[in-house]
Amino acid sequence: MPNTDILPALKVPKTMRAIVLPEANEAIRLNNAELKVPECSENELLIKVEYVGLNPLDAQYAKTGFCHWQYPHVLGLDAVGIVVNAPKGIYPNIGARVMWHASMGEQGVLSEYAKVPNYAVSVVPESVKPEQAAALPCAGMTALISLDKLQITEGDTLLIEAGAGAVGQIAIQFAKQRGADVFTTAAKRNHKLVKSLGADTVFDYQDKNLCQKIRRELGPQGFDAVLDSLGGEVTARNIELMRFCGRIACLKPLPVFEQELLFRKAPNISIVSLAGAWLANSLCAQQRMSFMSNLLLESVAKDELKVPEIDLIEFNAEHISTALKTQLAGGFTGKQVVKVSID
C-alpha cells in the first residue's frame, strides 16, 4: 500500500461543468452550468467523476422537486470516478477508482467533480468496467435490501414485479443464489431475458387473467414473499396473492388498504429507502451501503452477477433530459449511464 502522506493531490481546476435543475418542472428541463469545484473537509474525498448511472428516482424528483434541495440543483445519485484529493492517511488513496451512491439531500453527481465521505465508497476492481459499476448502486442495493428485509432463504416462493427492470434483473439473480423459487412479471418481449437470469416462472404483466394464472401455477398457498416495485393498486393485489403472514418489500409509497385485507392476510410490510441512510444521518446505514456495494462489485468481478445492458448518454442537458423522460416512460430494460469524463 502506498504511503498516503506523500501522495500528491492530482491537478484540479477551480470550476467544473455540471448539469443542473434550475427548478422542479414537469418537462424535466435541465441546464448546462459552470460551478465551483466542491471543497472537502475532514474525511471527504474529492473525486473526478467518470460515469453517472441514471435512475427513475432522478426523473421523478426532477419533476416534483425534493424538500431538501436548493436550486439550481445538480442531479444524479450513482457515480464512478477517480479520487483526486484525500486527507492524509485516508483510504482509499488518490488515484483509486471508486463507486458510490450519493445523498439525496445534497448536490448530486452529474458534474465533473464531486465529494463524498470515504466510508461511503467502494473501490472498483480492475476487471469491472467503470460504466458497469455506475449502473450498480441504486438498483443493486435496492435489490439486496429488499431481499434482506424479505428474509429470503432456500425454498421460499418469491414474486418479483417488473423482472426486466434493473432492480428486478439484479434481484432475480441474488434470489436464485439464496435458493428461492422466483416468479416474475415482464413484457412478453423480455421473457427470454428474465429466464436467462434465473427466473423459474414468468408472467405477462399485461395479461388480464394474471391473478388467475399465478394462482394456477403457484397453488392455493400464496407467495412467501413479494418484491413490489410498482405500488398503488398492484401492492394490494400482491398482498392478496401472498400467504397468511407473508412478507412484502415496497419500493413505492403505500396505498390506502382495505382493513379486511390487512386483517385477513396480516402481511409483514417493509419499506425500502436508500435515501434514508443519508437523511436519517445513520453512519451505520451509510457504511452498510458501502458493504453492499463491495458485494455487488465482487459478484460482477467473479461473473456471478450480470449487469443490465448499458446505454451510454452524452454529458449535456438536452441528452440527459431526454434520457430521464425515458426512465419514466417505462419498458426500458437496460441502464442509462452518462459518460462525464472525456479523458
CATH, residue 193: 3.40.50.720
Last residue of a domain, one of 238, 271, 304: 271
> Hey, which bits of the chain come out as E strands?
15-21, 31-36, 44-53, 73-74, 78-85, 97-101, 113-117, 122-123, 157-160, 181-186, 201-204, 223-228, 242-250, 268-271, 310-314, 335-339
Residue 6 falls inside a structural domain: no
The pLDDT tens digits for 204-216 are 999 999 999 999 9
Same-domain status, 94 and 203: no
- If phi over 0 gives left and psi between -120 and 50 gives alpha, with beta otherwise, what is residue 291? alpha
Residue linked to cell 439486496: 144
Measured in degrees and rounded to the nearest 5, phi and psi for residue 164 equal: -85, -10
Is residue 264 assigned to a domain?
Answer: yes
262 domain-assigned: yes
* Residue 169 within a domain: yes
204: domain range?
A: 139-271
pLDDT at 8: 60
Hey, what amino acid is at 81?
G
Check whether residue 152 and residue 242 sit in a common domain: yes
Q: What is the pLDDT of residues 26-78, one digit of tens each?
A: 999 999 999 999 999 888 999 999 999 999 999 999 999 999 999 999 999 99
Co-location of 73 and 152 in the same domain: no
Task: Please indicate, yes or no, whether residues 84 and 123 belong to a single structural domain of this protein.
Answer: yes
Q: What is the Cα–Cα distance from 168 to 183, expressed in whole angstroms? A: 11
Same domain, 144 and 266: yes
Residue 21 near residue 60 (C-beta atoms within 8 A): no
Do 41 and 118 fall within a single domain?
yes
Amino acid at 267: P
The grid cell for 133 is 459499476
Please indicate, yes or no, if residue 32 is contained in any of the structural domains: yes
One domain, residues 265 and 146: yes
DSSP assigned state of 190: G
- Are 148 and 257 found together in one domain? yes
Assigned domain for 4 exists: no
Q: Considering 271, 300, 321, which residue would you say is the last residue of a domain?
A: 271
Is residue 7 in a domain?
A: no
Peptide bond into 137 cis (omega under 30): no
pLDDT at 17: 98
Asked whether residue 205 falls in the same domain as residue 289, the answer is: no
Give dist(CA 258, CA 185) in Å, integer.
24
Of 90, 91, 57, 99, the residue nearest 75 (C-alpha) = 57
**305 Cβ partners below 8 Å, 6+ apart?**
170, 173, 174, 296, 299
Count structural domains, the chain: 2
Which of 227, 248, 271 corresponds to the end of one domain?
271
Extract the residue ranges of the chain whose pLDDT is less than 50: 1-6
**Same domain? 264 vs 167:** yes
**Are 48 and 113 within 8 A, CB to CB?**
yes
Q: Are 193 and 168 within 8 A, CB to CB?
A: no
Rounded CA gap, 294 and 49, in Å? 19
Residue 9 included in any domain: no
How many CB atoms are located within 10 Å of the residue 221 CB? 12
Residue 92 DSSP code: S
CATH of the domain at 333: 3.90.180.10
- Identify the pLDDT of residue 220: 84
Are residues 115 and 220 part of one domain? no
Based on the fold, state whether residues 232 and 309 are members of the same structural domain. no
Is the distance from CB of 122 to CB of 290 less than 8 angstroms? Answer: yes
Which pTM was predicted?
Answer: 0.94
Distance CA 276, CA 52 (A): 21
